[in-house]
Amino acid sequence: MSKLITTPKGKAVWPRIDTPDTKFDEDGVYSCKLHVSEGEFKAFEAIVKPKLDAAYKEECSRQGKDKIRMAASSPLRINDEGDHEIYAKQKAKAHTKTKGTLEFTIAAVDSQGKKIDMPKIGSGSTLKMAVEVNTWFVPSQGFGYTLRLRAVQVLDLIEYGGGDSSFGFGAEADGYVGSGESLNQAFEVADEAETSNAPF
């Protein structure tokens, strides 16, 4: 059964989806912040919570404790401006002992669910994200989790480096439509590709 869950649609903020950010990690990190409505934020939080509760209970049992410290950071948060934000990320490379260096990319589909080549997704684009809940425990931080970004659905595209805003075009109700084949495949997650029980 797929471990992926789909976020509600929201506005992308500083997405790094077509090319990974290497500023703080030379291996690169794909990421996206998605701003959603309060109601949709709470509904998504309710989907994530049972997964976290089960993993937290399992980690407590593993350590032989009733409670363990919770990490301060969370990918589901309300930022300083009051926006309800969902943050997902994915390392571009993973170094393993058995398979060497593995490289990851993010898949993309259009508003009709057709697989497309990854466009230059800029801030303000309307997206949904397919994510996987990844829990971790680090003694210095406590128990926490990240949302691993696996794929995006592009509902309204604003390309960076130009895009419709520079030509005066507005969004159309039908949504972004690209060409390509249907994305009718499950995303297989190779556990052996993970190098540690770390926040990625």
CB 149 within 8 A of CB 32: yes
Separation CA 48–CA 102 (nearest Å): 27
Q: Which of helix, strand or coil describes residue 35? A: strand
Domain positions in the chain are: 4-193
- The residue that leads in pLDDT, 184 or 176, is 176
Q: What are phi and psi of 47, to 5 degrees?
A: -75, -40
Q: Is the pLDDT of residue 161 over 80?
A: no
Domain 4-193, CATH: 2.40.50.140
For residue 134, the model assigns a pLDDT of: 95
- 16 pLDDT above the threshold of 90: yes
Q: Distance of CA 185 to CAs 15, 44, 85, 175, Å? A: 24, 23, 28, 23
Tell me what the mean pLDDT of segment 48-64 comes to.
96
**Span 90-133, pLDDT tens digits:** 999 988 888 888 899 999 999 999 999 999 999 999 999 999 99
